[in-house]
Amino acid sequence: MKTRLAIFWQWLKKSLGNFRYFTRIRLKKLPRFYRHFTRVEKRAAIIAGILILLGSGFFLWDNCIGTFREVPARYGTYTEGFLGRPQLVHPLFAQTDVDRDLARLLFSGLLRVDENGKYVGDLAEKWNVSEDKLVYLATLKKDLKWSDGKALTIDDALFTYQTMQDSWYMGSFSGVFKNVLIEKSAERQIKFTLKAPSPSFWENLTIGLIPQNIFKNKKPAEFVKLAQTWKAVGSGPFILKNIALKAGQPVLADLQSNPFYAGSKPYLSKIVLRFYDNSLDLAKAFENREIAGFSAINPTNLEKLSQLQKLNIYRVPLPQYTGIFFNLGKEYFADKNVRQALAFAVDKESVVEKALYGQGRAVSSVVLPETLGFKTVKDYKFNPNKARDMLIEAGWQMGTNKILVKDQKPFALNLTYLDNDLSKKIAKLLQADWKTAGLEVKLVPVSLAELQSKILPERDFDVLLFGENLGALPDYSTFWHSSQVASGFNLSGLEDGDTDFLLEEISASTDTNDKIDKLGQFQDYVAENVPAVFLFQPYFLYAIDASIKGIVLDKMYISSDRFASVTSWYIKTKREKVPAPVAVKKAEATKTPTVKPTVKK
């Protein structure tokens, strides 16, 4: 047996010396030796072969595969296309979606909304609120720095919030901190004292902070001028390294990872933003591989995009609704029956299909679906005949030109809307619907500047087509309390003491069931009295190359929330050795000493 095994071993060593010959020729000689083995030797050879294979497998797993894992590598550039160009790179003055997207990448607030739609710390390490929901405290992380390396302190936070309280400030957050006492309560702590509970107050702490050493003692005009210099100093995950201009307008922005960012360092080393004037140029840029992603997707191109390989398309409902707000101060709309009739004359499904190409859903309630307290309310299904009959019952008569008249005056109104393609399509559909019911509707497009400076502050409209963002934690008092009629977001001018009291109770309630019950009452009131007709909830559409991984878009509140997980985005991976488990020595059981309480006499 020994002689035969020795011969086999010598043959195996010689054959393995030249693998090519081993596989071609010498392997054929193996059966000659194997044929002379006894039954015991054959079994021993088979078992030995199996053991060698298993041992080699375990060795390879333990040393080459099992101890390593694929992890994101800090590498790569992502290029995104934007419809429109940035105007003000500043968190307090951002006006457009492009401005807000840049602010999200370059600046950070005390809190931020993560990819799951929850509030988490950004610059704050801890935050809490008092039991009566009137006092909010936030504590900064230690050793924070701006992107230029200078220290970021609680004084910067105090300066930012107090700037928004200044009378001259007319930015997007004007009034947000009205009647709020803001003070420094400790070396790294800021305190907000409210006069009344506000469920959405945490959302205000996501506003990006600005450095007081740059903006302190600056006049309003200087604030804006500094925001237009493209030299933003922030504390976000990225810094603005360079911006390319053409005829004075930005065409490209080069962002690089911020080494002083207080959160997790981004895996992407660079983000390039390219700006386009129209959706056609944007789509061409994607087809030509100039960009790897974009969000301003024309719904008409959605089917074509969905057929492309290696492309991910995300569709997320936003906590927004677009509606028609009646100016209750106008004589036409004093009668609830007239408002109800106009609601019956609106074909919401047609608006969703023809204006949004199906990328949204029709809504009927002031509380959106999938939001706390949502319930099914009275719905005004499209019925132009019923609408016309109700208006006739309200005292209107059909004129010779199929326009309703009363006291020899036609039922004519102005429909005001922000001058953009989508709003124009919706306005024309509404005009056609109401004409069928007997109304004469004049369309009044206005610019964003006119909307903000005149239309909204002066309530200079008959009917307003407008969208409202309810945010992560909707505070319905902001939009419907009578205190917001003069200068707030109560656009219709709804004033009702019982409703005010109900809204105050909803804001103050800490009992979920009680809040849901009161929200149900509020929805029923709005549905019955129709201060506005709620049309649809839009979807956010985002197309991005499949090579970009780590994207999470479960919940969004505004379009810039797509960057909530941007620090986790990556392109390439690397192999990383798995650390060996640390052996934990079992602690010996010890007897807990008994401590006698000290009694003061």
589 inside domain: no
492 inside domain: yes
At 331, list the tokens.
């004589």
d(CA 364, CA 115): 28
Provide the terminal-to-terminal Cα distance of the chain, rounded to the nearest Å: 95
d(CA 164, CA 171): 8
Q: Is 88 exposed, middle or buried (0-12, 13-18, 19+ CB in 10 A)?
A: buried
**End residue of a domain, out of 66, 89, 110:** 66
Of 3-12, 18-27, 476-485, which gets the smallest average pLDDT? 18-27
Q: Are residues 53 and 110 in the same domain?
A: no
d(CA 321, CA 325): 12
Q: Is 143 exposed, middle or buried (0-12, 13-18, 19+ CB in 10 A)?
A: exposed
Q: State how far the alpha carbon of 420 is from the alpha carbons of 104, 371, 428, 446, in Å.
A: 24, 29, 12, 9
414 inside domain: yes
d(CA 93, CA 172): 7
b/e 459-478 (16+ beta carbons within 10 angstroms → b): bbbbbbbbbbebbbbbbbbb
Q: Are strands 320-326 and 532-545 parallel, antiparallel or unpaired?
A: antiparallel
pLDDT at 592: 35
Q: Are residues 525 and 407 in the same domain?
A: yes
Q: Are residues 476 and 403 in the same domain?
A: yes
Q: State how far the alpha carbon of 497 is from the alpha carbons of 108, 117, 489, 505, 518, in Å.
A: 39, 34, 17, 12, 15
Percent of the chain with pLDDT over 70: 87
b/e 250-270 (16+ beta carbons within 10 angstroms → b): beebbbbbbebbbbeebbbbb
For residue 68, which phi and psi values (nearest 5 degrees)? -120, 155
Q: What is the pLDDT of residues 124-147, one digit of tens each?
A: 999 999 988 899 999 999 999 999
For residue 336, which phi and psi values (nearest 5 degrees)? -60, -35
Does residue 280 contact residue 83 with C-beta atoms inside 8 Å?
A: no
Q: Report how many domains make up the chain.
A: 3
151 vs 28: which has the higher pLDDT: 151
326 inside domain: yes
585 inside domain: no
**pLDDT score of 516 more than 70:** yes
Residue type, 559: S
340 inside domain: yes
pLDDT at 586: 46
* Beta-carbon-side half-sphere exposure of residue 191 (alpha carbons within 13 Å): 10
Q: Are residues 533 and 562 in the same domain?
A: no
Q: Are residues 111 and 222 in the same domain?
A: yes
Nearest to 198 by CA among 556, 469, 479, 514: 479
**End residue of a domain, out of 487, 516, 538:** 538
Q: Are residues 91 and 170 in the same domain?
A: yes
Q: Are residues 397 and 469 in the same domain?
A: yes
The DSSP secondary structure of 17-66, one letter per residue, reads: TSHHHHHHTGGGGHHHHHHTS-HHHHHHHHHHHHHHHHHHHHHHIIIIIT
pLDDT at 297: 80
Q: Are residues 88 and 50 in the same domain?
A: no
Element (H, E) at 190: strand 189-193
276 vs 586: which has the higher pLDDT: 276
Q: Is 438 exposed, middle or buried (0-12, 13-18, 19+ CB in 10 A)?
A: buried
At 557, list the tokens.
């509140």
* Beta-carbon-side half-sphere exposure of residue 231 (alpha carbons within 13 Å): 7
d(CA 397, CA 405): 5
Residue type, 250: P
Does residue 359 contact residue 298 with C-beta atoms inside 8 Å?
A: no
Residues with Cβ within 8 Å of 558's Cβ and at least 6 positions away in sequence, in order, are 100, 318, 469
d(CA 37, CA 43): 9
* Beta-carbon-side half-sphere exposure of residue 57 (alpha carbons within 13 Å): 6
Q: Are residues 131 and 203 in the same domain?
A: yes
Query: 54: domain range?
Result: 2-66
pLDDT-based confidence at 600, cuts 50/70/90?
very low
**End residue of a domain, out of 512, 538, 564:** 538
Q: Model pTM?
A: 0.74
**pLDDT score of 295 more than 80:** yes
pLDDT at 556: 85
Of 89-93, 222-226, 284-288, 314-318, which gets the smallest average pLDDT? 222-226
Q: Across the strands, what pairs with 442? A: 414
Q: What is the pLDDT of residues 50-68, one digit of tens each?
A: 787 777 666 666 555 556 6
Does residue 192 contact residue 135 with C-beta atoms inside 8 Å?
A: yes
Q: Are strands 532-545 and 311-317 parallel, antiparallel or unpaired?
A: antiparallel
What counts of helices (H) and strands (E) characterise the chain? Answer: 20, 23
Q: Are residues 212 and 171 in the same domain?
A: yes
pLDDT-based confidence at 386, cuts 50/70/90?
very high
Q: What is the pLDDT of residues 420-456, one digit of tens each?
A: 888 999 999 999 999 999 999 999 999 988 988 888 9
CATH number at residue 173: 3.40.190.10
What dihedral do alpha carbons 480, 483, 489, 491 form, nearest 10°?
A: 70
Q: Are residues 106 and 148 in the same domain?
A: yes
266 inside domain: yes
CATH number at residue 424: 3.10.105.10
Does residue 135 contact residue 57 with C-beta atoms inside 8 Å?
A: no
600 inside domain: no
pLDDT-based confidence at 31, cuts 50/70/90?
low
Give the distance, in angstroms, between the CA of residue 352 and the centroid of all CA atoms in the same chain.
22
Does residue 269 contact residue 259 with C-beta atoms inside 8 Å?
A: no
Q: Are residues 453 and 486 in the same domain?
A: yes
The mean pLDDT of 405-424, rounded to a whole number, is: 90
Nearest to 373 by CA among 492, 484, 513, 497: 513
Q: Find where tokens 């309310």 sit.
A: 377
d(CA 49, CA 59): 15
At 181, list the tokens.
């006492």
pLDDT at 75: 85
